[in-house]
Amino acid sequence: MKKTEVSCIFLITLIVFIKNSLLSEATSAPNSVLDTTGKMIRVESDYMVVPVRKDLGGDLGLAFIGTQVCPLGIGPRLNNDSGLSINFFPVNSKKGVIRESIDLNVEFTETYTICQHHSNVWRLDHYNPQKEDHMITNGGVKGNPGRDTISNWFKIVKYGVGYKFVFCPSVCNYCDVICKNVGVFVQNNGQTLLTLSNEPLEVRFKKV
């Protein structure tokens, strides 16, 4: 067999292998999370988190938990006030698109004048896998997946006409974790706050 024929066969084989690999990856990849216009949500782009239930308030932002100052809780703004935009940072930072059921960090992009010593990254406050009731607050750590950051990882899952946040981190294979929806509870002052719950909060994502 001539050298040119061998080269052609090798090239064709390589092209078929790459094509099949790409098709396999595309087939196995989770669905992309979509914004309110039907476009794919992308890493480090700004979005507002909009509750589907309008009676809960406006877009998500930071809020006081009872009378404590820090950390701050997270929930729909009262009186339909404008919320805070967020970025998503998946565990695999090389992926430019946010996909369902993938571990990710959630971070408010705007600086808040209160609790400046706390980051804007979402986390479970005082995480304890033996305890089911946890508030979602600011003060988390972005990146560095593993045992020390287990409380900072959330997932987005399709739910109803929108999506829901879920806490069920898979960034630590040997860690004892809990898996639960992110829902809400209402404080005495009427402020709704995010917490782990059996009943999820249905949300949509609006591009800023």
SS3 track for 124-173: ECCCCCCCCCCEEECCCCCCCCCHHHHHHCEEEEEECCEEEEEECCCCCC
Residue 112: is its pLDDT beyond 80?
no
Given this model, what pLDDT does residue 16 score? 40
Given this model, what pLDDT does residue 18 score? 44
In CATH, the number for domain 29-207 is 2.80.10.50
* Secondary structure class of 5 (helix, strand, coil): helix
For residues 138 and 17, the model is more confident at 138
CB 73 within 8 A of CB 64: yes
Place of tokens 């914004």: 35
- Determine the Cα–Cα distance for residues 87 and 118; give it in Å rounded to an integer: 17
Look up residue 95 and give its two tokens.
Answer: 């992926």
Segment 98-126 shows an average pLDDT of: 90
- Determine the Cα–Cα distance for residues 55 and 58; give it in Å rounded to an integer: 9
For residues 21 and 191, the model is more confident at 191
Q: Which helix (H) or strand (E) holds 99?
A: none
Segment 197-201 shows an average pLDDT of: 95
For residues 44 and 163, the model is more confident at 163
Q: What is the pTM of this model?
A: 0.83
Q: Phi and psi for 50 in degrees, rounded to 5?
A: -110, 115
Q: Where are the domains of the chain?
A: 29-207
Look up residue 56 and give its two tokens.
Answer: 């809960």
Question: Whose CA is closest to 31, among 100, 85, 112, 84?
Answer: 100
- Determine the Cα–Cα distance for residues 149 and 29; give it in Å rounded to an integer: 25
Read off the pLDDT of residues 5-14 as tens digits, 9 standing for 90 and up: 545 454 444 4
Residue 21: is its pLDDT beyond 90?
no
Given this model, what pLDDT does residue 44 score? 85
- Determine the Cα–Cα distance for residues 65 and 72; give it in Å rounded to an integer: 6
79 pLDDT tier (thresholds 50, 70, 90): confident
| Contacts for 163-169: CB closer than 8 Å, 24+ residues apart | 163/33, 163/100, 163/202, 163/203, 163/204, 163/205, 164/200, 164/201, 164/202, 164/203, 165/106, 165/194, 165/200, 165/201, 165/203, 166/101, 166/200, 167/124, 167/134, 167/196, 169/103
